[in-house]
Amino acid sequence: MDAFHRAVAEFMVTDMDLVIEPPALAAARQSPDSSGLLLGEVHGVRENPLLIHALMNAFGLTSLALEWPEDLTPIIRAFLASGTLADHPWLWGGDGRITAGHLEVLANRAAAGPLKLILFDAVIGADWSWSQRDEAMAQRILAISPPSARTLVAAGNAHTPVSPIELGVPMDARMAGQRPGIW
């Protein structure tokens, strides 16, 4: 944990020179305006925390949903309040969803003003299918984030297509059925 705390403290939250092509910018602006949600990420990309920071700034978003185990919610809230992160087995998944950069960006965003944080990955049973997990994640986001919240949802790219894929029915397809206009 000491090394992880040092890595969080050493991560520099800087503004990216984010360049968004005009058609993508228009679509990305429309998504939170019409559905309250903007989605996407690929796990493990080093720049993801900075991209989250840049997108929240670019679109004036104060609500963030992360594909992190929802059981971490009290631990992350305590971290944001105190700056100290308690150890928990879910922090060590190793798939790139939870990094020192993410934690520093969360701390930075929370210090800058209100931050509504939603952790939406549900712990599922061995008999659950991939589609059932995605349905549970979609329901958690929709229940906690009304359209007026304008939430950036950082979820792996397998969860963000708006139509069924080889794995099953993704989270975003479930949400798009209830909130048209998701991009």
Q: Under a CB-based contact definition with an 8 Å cutoff, are residues 34 and 28 in contact?
A: no
Which residues of the chain have a pLDDT value below 50? Answer: none
Looking at residue 98, its pLDDT comes to 92
Scanning 16-162, the segments in alpha helix (DSSP H) are 22-34, 48-58, 73-82, 100-112, 130-144
Q: How many domains are there within the chain? A: 1
**Is 163 buried (19+), middle (13-18) or exposed (0-12) by CB count in 10 A?**
exposed
Looking at residue 64, its pLDDT comes to 95
- Residue 166 inside a domain? The answer is yes
- Residue 183 inside a domain? The answer is no
> How does DSSP classify residue 109?
H
> Parallel, antiparallel, or unpaired: how do β-strands 63-69 and 37-39 relate?
unpaired
What sign does the CA torsion over 98, 100, 105, 110 have? Answer: positive
Structural domain containing residue 99: 2-178
- Residue 163 inside a domain? The answer is yes
Taking the C-alpha atoms of residue 119 and residue 87, their distance in angstroms, rounded to an integer, is: 17
Look-up of token digits 């040092």: 6
Taking the C-alpha atoms of residue 174 and residue 179, their distance in angstroms, rounded to an integer, is: 9
Looking at residue 34, its pLDDT comes to 72
Looking at residue 12, its pLDDT comes to 79
Q: Under a CB-based contact definition with an 8 Å cutoff, are residues 86 and 78 in contact?
A: yes
- Residue 40 inside a domain? The answer is yes
- Residue 30 inside a domain? The answer is yes
- Residue 138 inside a domain? The answer is yes
- Residue 59 inside a domain? The answer is yes
> How does DSSP classify residue 162?
S
- Residue 154 inside a domain? The answer is yes
Confidence (pTM): 0.81
Distances (CA, A) of 126 to 37, 102, 181: 30, 29, 33
